[in-house]
Structure 1
Amino acid sequence: NGFLRPVDAPFSTFSIDVDTASYANVRRMLQAGQLPPANAVRLEELVNAFSYELPQPDGDTPFTVTVDAGTCPWQPEHELVRVAMQAKAIPMEERPPASLVFLIDVSGSMRADNKLPLVQQSLLMLTKEMREDDQVSIVTYSNNANVVLDCANGAEHELIEQSIAQLSASGSTNGEHGLSLAYDVARKHLLKPGSNRVLICTDGDFNVGVSDDQGVFELIEEQRNQGVFLSVLGFGSGNLKDSKLEGLADKGNGQYSYIDGLREARRVLIEEMTGTLYTLAKDVKFQVEFNPNKVSRYRLLGYENRALADQHFSDDRIDAGELGAGHSVTALYEIAPVGAKTPQGTVEPRRYGPMTRVEAAIQQQREEVAAKLPHENEMMLVKVRYKAPDADESTRVEFPYVPGEKAKPSTDLSFAAATVELGLLLRNSAYKGVGNWDQLVSLTQDSIGDDHKGRRTEFLDLVLRARSLNQHRNGNAPQSPTPRLLGSTDARKMAGCDGKYSDLLDKWDAANDQLTYGEFYDLGFRNSPEHGEKQGLPAGYWVYVYPNWYIWGERVID
C-alpha cells in the first residue's frame, strides 16, 4: 500500500484478517537458511502471529478496540498508529458443540515427513480435545475422494485415532471432488446450534477437477451461506500454493494457518481452537477516517488482500472476516503528520507551468473545507461494522482517537513495529526508510517484554538469522577473526552470564551458529523443541558461547 492524502482519500476500509500462515512459512524458510521471496511475506500476518496485552470487553459489544501511537522506527518523522481489536475470551468448556470434517490430502506429494505424517500427529492432538457433544468425520482425496469416517462421536477418541493413523499417501490430487464430498458429509451431519466446519489439510493445489479457481470459490461461498465454514492448514514446501490456500480460507469464513511443526500445530489447533470453533462476530469491517488537519499522508501496512471499497463498509451484502472467541486483530498505519518532512523527496517542477486554474481551485476548496472540519483535536475515527453470528444486519460502533503528548511507545506497539519492519526489510520495500538490520535487532531486543512462552525470543532469533543471511547474500558479511575457544570452565561461566542463569539443562555443539550469533549471545527464554537438526530440546534460557549452545533452567538475576 502506498501513501494517500486524506483530502483525496479520507477513508481506509478493509476486512479483518486473523490468518497467520505467512509468519510460520517465513520462520520455516529462515530456519532452513533461506531468505523468503517477497510475495511470501504478508505484513498483517507477521503482526497477528503474536499476542498482545489488550483489555477484555465488559459490555454487550463482543470486542474492544484500542488505539495507540508512537514514533515510527524506520521513519522518525512519522507516527506509527496501532488499531487493535480484542474479542471476548470464552473458556473451552463453554464453546458450542462442533461438527468437524477433516479433509485430508493423501496424494503422492504428501509422503514427506513434514506433510502427511505431521498432519496425522497434528490431528491426533486435536482429537484428544474433542467432547462427547462434538462430531468428527474424515474425508480423504487423491485420485478419488473417500469417506474414511462418517461422523464419530467426539469422545470416540480411539476410533478417530485409528482412522487417522491408517492413512497413507499415493496418487494424484482430485481436490475438487474431495471438497464436494466433504461438504456433503458436513451438511448430512449439520449441528444446530453448533459450529460446522471443514478443515482442509494439504500441501498445495487442487490440480484435478474444476479447472479454474472460480468454480472452487463459488462452491465454498455457497456452502458458507448454508452455515458450513472452511479453514485451511498448509503443510510442507515445494508444492505449497500459499496464495490459493489463503483465498480458499477467505472465501470460507475461515482461517489459513501454516503448520511447520508440532509446536505450531499445538498453538493453532489447541491454544486457539476455541476461537476457530466459536464465532463471536461475522463480516467484521474496519473503516478509518483521517482528519486532514492532523494527517498529511497515511498508509495501511499490509491487508492488501483484504481491501474493500469505501461504499462496501455499510453494505451488509459484502462478505468480510470472522472474529472468533479470544482472537485479536492488529492493524498498523504509518502516518505523516501535517508539517512533517517528506523523506521520499520532492516533486520536480512542472515543465508546462504550474497547476491549471481548475486544479488550483479544487485544491483550495479541499483545503478550505478541511480547515473548517469539526472534531479538530481528533487524528482519526475508527469505525467498525459487524454482525452477530446469526444476524443479517450489521451493528456499527466507532472509536475516535485524540493523540496525547508524545510518549515512548508501549512495549507491545514497539514489538508490533518490529514484526512489520522485518517484513519491510525482507521485501526490500521502498518504504523501509532508515530501517536496517542492526536497528531492527535493537528494536526487537528492547520490546520482548514478558515473554513467558518464548515466542518473541524466537522472533529475535529469526531477525538475527535474516540479518546474517542478508549479509552473506550481499557479500558484506563482517569479516570476523577466528573465534576464541575457551576452556570448558570459562565457557560455562560466560554462558551463565555472571550468575544470571543456573541449572544447566542441555549443551551441544553448533560451531556454524557463530556466523549468526558471534562468539557470545544471550538470546533469552525459548520454548522450542528443535534448533536446526537438533531435536527434543527443553524450554529454557539460551546462551551461545562459541562453539556451543547452553540451555539454562532458571533465571536467578533479572
Structure 2
Amino acid sequence: MERYRIRRLRATLLAFTAAGGLLLTGCGGSDTGDHGSADGATGFPAPDYRQGTGEQDTDGTDDESSEVAPSPDYVSTFALDVDTASYGYARRTLADGRLPDPSTIRPEEFVNSFRQDYERPDGNGFTVTVDGARTNDEDWSLVRVGLATRNARDQHGGRPPAALTFVIDISGSMSEPGRLDLAQKSLDVMTDRLRDDDSVALVTFSDKAETVLPMTRLGGHRGTIHEAIDSLEPTFSTNLAAGVETGYATAVEGLREGATNRVVLISDALANDGDTDPDSILDRIDGARREHGITLFGVGVGSDYGDALMERLADKGDGHTTYVSDPDEARKVFCEQLPKNIDLTARDAKAQGAFDPETVAEFRLVGYDNRRVADDDFRDDHVDGGEFGPGHTVTALYAVRTKPGAVGHLATATVRWQDPETRTPHEESGQVEAASIDQPLWRANSGLQVTALAAYFADALRSGDGDAYSDADTRWSPLPAAPSLPELAERADKLAFSTDTKAIRQLAEAIHRASDLT
C-alpha cells in the first residue's frame, strides 16, 4: 500500500510544451490581493485534453522514493462541494465522549466548515485565490485554493422565489431529543422568515411516505404551514427511499417556473426499511433531478447518524449536506443559510490544479476522495459537478513538496462551471509562485492557519489507532509534518484568542476533547 496518495511529477518539458500552448477558453487570471498569487507569475493554463497534452511517463518506476507511488499526472481534478456534515457530526460525537469512526471523517468538510474572506465576484461564478506556506518540514508546504461566489446582497432585484419541499423523517429513531423536535422548531422560525412569494411542501416518511402539505404559497397560509409542521410525530421504521421518491414527486407536481426548486431532506439517515442503496434511490428520481434541476439539500440530525448514506445522496443529488446538533446550529442552517442561499450562481462546478514539474516534486490533494474526476473530463460538461449559491466559499488544500531551490511558477488552479440558467460554461484561474509560499505556516494569515488546523485535525481523527484507514475507494495515510493533537489544541487556542472567533473556539474545544480521548 502506498505511503502517501501523492502524484509523482515527472520533469518532462514535453508534456508542458504541449499543454503550455493551450489557452483557456473564457478564462481570466485572478490577482487576489493579500492571499493571492505573486505579481508577474507566468503560469500554466489547465490542459485542454480535447487536443491532447503530450506524452506522459507511465513506466511506473520511481528513482527517488520507493515510498511514493509514481504517477504520470501533474494535474488534479475534482468536483466541488460545500458539505460540512462530517465536521458537525465529529464535534457532536466528541461532545458525547466518543471518538468518531475514521470512515466518517472527510477532511474537506472540516476545512469548508470555516468561512473565508476570499475576494468575491460581482456576478455569478467564482473568484480564485491561491496561497500557501511552509510546514515544519521545510520540504513540504500547504497550498490553498480558495473559491468564492458573490454575496447574496449583490444580486440585482433580489433572489427568485423558492419552492422548497421538506422531506422529514418521522421514524421512531427521530423521537430522541434534538432530532424531530429540533427540526420542527427550526422550520417554524424559517416559515416566518421566508417571503410571501415563496412556497413550501411537507412530505413525511417512516415505513411509508405521505405528502402532508402540497406546495403552498406562504402569503396568507403561514398558519396552515405551522399547523402541518407542529402536527408531526415520530413513528415506526425508516423507509428513506420512499421519502425521497415521494418528495421529488411532490416537488415536480408543485414545480414553479422561474423559482428555485429544491428538496430538503431532514433525517438521521438510519434507513432500515425498503431500498437503502443511494444509487438505486436516486435512479428512481433521476428524471426529476435532471430534467427539472431540482437539487437535494441534506440536513443530518441525531447522535447516531447515517453519514455515508446522506453524503452519497447529496453528492449524487447535485446538492450538499450539513449536520445540526443544537438549536443555534439549526437556526443558522434553516433561518439564515437556506433562505439566503436559495438561489444558484453556478452549476456543475469542477476544479483543477496544474502543478509545474520544474518547481514541484510531489503533491497530494487533501480530501475530496469520492469527488475525484478524470483529468480529461474537466471540460466535459456532461460530467457532474457541484452546485453553488451566493455567499459560499470553498477551499481545496494540497500538500506540496517543492524541489530544492525552486524559483518561479508553482501551480495554477482553474474552476469551471455552468451558468445556472443558460448552462453556458465559464472558467476562472488563479496562480501562485514558489516565492509566495516561503513564509512559515503558523505565521501566515488566520484564514490559512484555520484551514491547516482543520485539515490536520481531520487527519488525526482519520488515523484512528494510528494505522492508515482505507476502503474500496480511498487509500489514505497521514499528512506530512502533522503536529500532535496537544500541539494542535495549543495552536487552536492561540488562534481563537487572537481572532476572537466563535467557530475557532469551537474547533479548539473539539481538538482538546479528541486529545483527552486518545
What TM-score bracket applies, with the shorter chain setting the length?
A: 0.7 to 0.9
Answering whether residue 462 of structure 2 is matched by residue 462 of structure 1, we say no
The corresponding residue for 2:485 is 437
Matches within 5 A, 1:145-544: 145-155=209-219, 156-210=221-275, 212-225=277-290, 226-238=292-304, 240-274=305-339, 276-339=341-404, 377-405=408-436, 406-407=438-439, 408-428=443-463, 430-432=477-479, 433-448=481-496, 451=499, 454-470=502-518
Is 1:86–2:133 an aligned residue pair?
no
Give the 3-state SS of the residue equivalent to 1:232 in structure 2. strand
Q: How far 1:52 sits from its partner (Å)?
A: 1.6
Share of identical aligned residues, percent? 33
Cα deviation for residue 434 of structure 1 reads 4.7
CA change 1:27–1:61 in 2 (3 A) is: same
Deviations 1:61-110 (A, max 9, x none): 6321111111125x443111110001101139822100011111111121
Which residue matches 1:18?
82
Amino acid at match of 1:165: D
Deviation at 1:452, TM superposition (A): 5.6
Structure 2 CA distance for aligned equivalents of residues 220 and 449 of structure 1: 48
1:394 is displaced (CA, Å) by: 1.7
Contact kept, 8 Å, 1:316 with 1:392, in 2: the verdict is: no
Q: Which amino acid aligns with 2:478?
A: Y
Q: CA deviation at 1:177?
A: 2.3
- Structure with higher Rg: it is 1
- How many residues matched? 433
TM-score normalized by structure 1? 0.74
How far the C-alpha of 1:172 sits from its partner, in A, is 1.8
Counterpart of 1:442, as a letter, is: E
Pick closer, same or farther for the CA change 1:425–1:187 going to 2, 3 Å: same
Runs of 4+ in structure 1 deviating by more than 4 angstroms, as ranges, are: 449-453
Aligned to 1:128, what secondary structure does the other structure show? helix
Tell me how large the CA RMSD over aligned residues is: 2.1
Aligned to 1:522: none
| 3-state SS of paired residue (1:57) | coil
> Could you say what secondary structure the match of 2:7 adopts?
coil
Query: 1:151 deviation in Å?
Result: 2.1
Contact in 1 for aligned 2:152/2:341 (Cα 8 Å): no
- Structure 2 gap segments, 5+ residues each: 11-71, 469-476
Change (3 A) 1:258 1:329: same
SS of aligned partner of 1:264: helix
Partner of 2:226, secondary structure, is: helix
Q: 1:223–1:229: 8 Å Cα contact kept in structure 2? A: no
| Residue equivalent to 2:21 | none
Q: Conserved in 2, the CA contact under 8 Å of 1:316 and 1:393?
A: no
What runs of 5+ residues in structure 1 fail to find an aligned partner?
A: 341-370, 471-558
Report deviation, 1:451.
Answer: 4.5
Q: Comparing both chains, which one has the higher relative contact order based on Cα–Cα distances under 8 Å and sequence gaps of 6 or more?
A: 2
Deviation at 1:385, TM superposition (A): 0.9
Deviations 1:288-325 (A, max 9, x none): 11101110000011110111111110111101101210
**What TM-score, normalized by structure 2, do the two folds share?**
0.79
Please give the alpha-carbon distance, in whole angstroms, between the structure 2 residues aligned to 1:46 and 1:275. 22
Which residue type is aligned with residue 506 of structure 2? E
Letter paired with 1:90: A
Please give the alpha-carbon distance, in whole angstroms, between the structure 2 residues aligned to 1:166 and 1:21. 28
Partner SS, residue 331 of structure 1: strand
Q: Answer whether contact 2:125 2:345 (CA < 8 A) is retained.
A: yes
**What per-residue deviation string (whole Å, max 9, x for no partner) do you get for residues 121-180 of structure 1?**
221222122111100111111122211111222243222111111111111223222222
Match of 2:132 in 1: 69
Give me the whole-angstrom Cα distance separating, in 2, the residues matched to 1:224 and 1:22.
24
Structure 2 CA distance, aligned partners of 1:13 and 1:275? 29
